[in-house]
Amino acid sequence: MNGLEFLRRNANAKTDVILTNAYPDYALQGFDLNVADYLLKLFSRVRFCQAIEKLRNKYLPASMDANSSDPFEEEFIFVRTEYRITKVRVHDIHYLEGTGNYVSIHLPTSRILSLQNMRSLEQMLKDAGFFRIYRSFIVAVRHLETVTRKSVVIAGEELPRGDSYRELFMEHIGNRYRLI
């Protein structure tokens, strides 16, 4: 039994389905069966996240607190510094800057020098609206002021954008946020 046959047999089920297949001919049949989205293999991670985000947006607004527009506003991480562990609100982080063996976490009025590496912090923050724009910079998309071909501006600071990150970054911005 393939996925389309399964959907036909369970047509009355109240389940959202994202159909993945290597054959574009099955897309129309899938939408006739009310699938939430159709991903043509080999799909990108960004396209997969876009499909998940579509379903998440379908259910998330009803469960979110009406007073909070940012689900990560009260989230925090613990950051290892020289002689202590510091609690940092995710919403306050403007950007991360890799500096040798350290990562500088830029906040509205200060910065913290962390002993953790960029990769571990990127993994911690990837679902909270952070995106790598350069080998040594990860930015909080919520704090972006300006985006140009070669740079972004956050809190008045111009940060470079790397060529290898440019296309994925713009795809991410276009898929998650309204571009006017």
Please name the amino acid found at residue 54: K
Residues 18, 95, single domain; the answer is no
Q: Assess contact for 30 and 38: CB atoms under 8 A.
A: yes
Task: State which of 38, 63, 88 marks the end of a domain.
Answer: 63
Q: With the CA atoms of 66, 91, 86 and 139 taken in that order, what torsion angle do they form, in degrees rounded to the nearest 10? A: 150
**Cβ neighbours around 140 below 10 Å, total:** 22
Q: Taking the model in full, what pTM does it have? A: 0.58
**Cβ neighbours around 149 below 10 Å, total:** 8
Residues 59, 88, single domain; the answer is no
Residues 95, 161, single domain; the answer is yes
Give the separation between CA 154 and CA 151, rounded to whole angstroms: 10
What is the per-residue pLDDT across 119-165, written as a single tens digit (0 to 9) for each? 888 888 888 889 999 999 999 998 999 988 899 999 999 999 998 88
Please name the amino acid found at residue 7: L
